[in-house]
């Protein structure tokens, strides 16, 4: 199995504030691995993605959910590593998914709608996602306290073991919020933020947890159209990002009923859609403060 990290010899240069150069140091650095993964369905090639090896079955299962192909564990019969085109040896960069016989095989051109850079106009992209939805996040009754929501980026960062080693991966964490105490259910890391999300969704599918009602998906980067799409197709009612959303991501969130949060950085955050799910702390009156003293 390919490793999630690789070591490389490097030359480290360092300057002080005055521009004086210190001696060159020769050392090793640890990098996040990046390799192609071919996804096949019933033996037919469907897609290739660049990813960090590890949790690959989760990645493929989540990708199939994000494509609107499956929505339940029972629809996925098996996942297996198989031989690549170069020969008969097993490859850990090729996975074949076997679907239940009654699950329609996807049109190989269907996935053009899932890319935020595909060039399809916004209205058509949103309509394509809406028609593919198996779950309805707008009906989710989740309400999340503002202070619990603001806590999630730090909780995510604390759990990022691969980032600590390499500094070069995105993370996605699935949280269950009961009262004011968020519980981390699953965290995945990858060089691609969309892969990290697919790995989380795939984990949930393989645990038979879809739809992911009452959960929050916290991501380490920005909130793109495709991340909102992946959240909506998994039935996740809240997507929170530490950076900015795109305009099309905000439009899709409003259309599908996903609460979209951006620039969540501890002491502040912006809500771009679904404000009604976020509960602000109740102000304490002077009389209550006096009674506590």
**C-alpha angle with apex 197: 55 to 253, nearest 5 degrees?**
165
Q: How far, in Å, CA of 224 to CA of 129, rounded?
A: 14
For the chain, how long is the longest CA-to-CA vector? 77
d(CA 283, CA 78) in angstroms, rounded, equals 52
Tokens coding 289: 């403060």
Residue 186 designated active-site: no
CB-CB contact of 223 with 247 (8 Å): no
Which helix (H) or strand (E) segment is 46 a member of? strand 44-51
Catalytic residue among 82, 118, 121, 186: 118
CB atoms within 10 A of CB 245: 25
CB 205 within 8 A of CB 73: yes
- State the sign of the Cα–Cα–Cα–Cα dihedral 34, 39, 44, 46: negative
Residues with a known catalytic role: 118
């Amino acid at each position: 199995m390919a490793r999630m990290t690789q070591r490389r010899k490097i030359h480290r240069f360092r300057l002080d504030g005055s521009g004086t150069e210190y001696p060159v140091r020769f050392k090793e650095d640890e990098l996040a691995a990046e390799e192609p993964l071919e996804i096949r369905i019933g033996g037919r090639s469907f897609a290739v993605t660049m990813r960090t090896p590890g949790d690959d079955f989760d990645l493929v299962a989540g990708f199939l959910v994000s494509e609107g192909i499956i929505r339940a564990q029972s629809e996925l019969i098996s996942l297996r590593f198989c031989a690549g085109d170069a020969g008969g040896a097993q490859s850990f960069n090729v996975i074949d998914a076997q679907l239940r016989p009654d699950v329609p095989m996807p049109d190989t051109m269907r996935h053009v709608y899932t890319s935020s850079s595909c060039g399809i106009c916004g209205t058509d992209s949103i309509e394509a996602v809406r028609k593919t939805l198996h779950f309805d996040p707008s009906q989710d009754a989740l309400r999340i306290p503002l202070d619990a929501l603001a806590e999630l980026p730090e909780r995510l960062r604390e759990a990022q073991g691969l980032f600590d080693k390499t500094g070069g991966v995105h993370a996605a964490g699935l949280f269950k919020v009961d009262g004011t105490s968020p519980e981390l259910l699953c965290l995945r890391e990858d060089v691609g933020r969309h892969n990290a999300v697919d790995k989380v969704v795939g984990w949930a599918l393989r645990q038979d947890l879809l739809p992911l009602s009452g959960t929050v998906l916290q991501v380490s980067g920005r909130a793109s159209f495709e991340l909102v799409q992946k959240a909506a197709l998994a039935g996740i009612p809240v997507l929170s990002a530490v950076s900015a959303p795109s305009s099309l991501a905000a439009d899709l969130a409003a259309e599908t009923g996903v609460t979209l949060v951006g620039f969540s950085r501890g002491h502040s955050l912006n809500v771009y859609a679904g404000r009604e799910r976020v509960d602000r702390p109740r102000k304490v009156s002077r009389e209550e403060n006096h009674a506590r003293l």
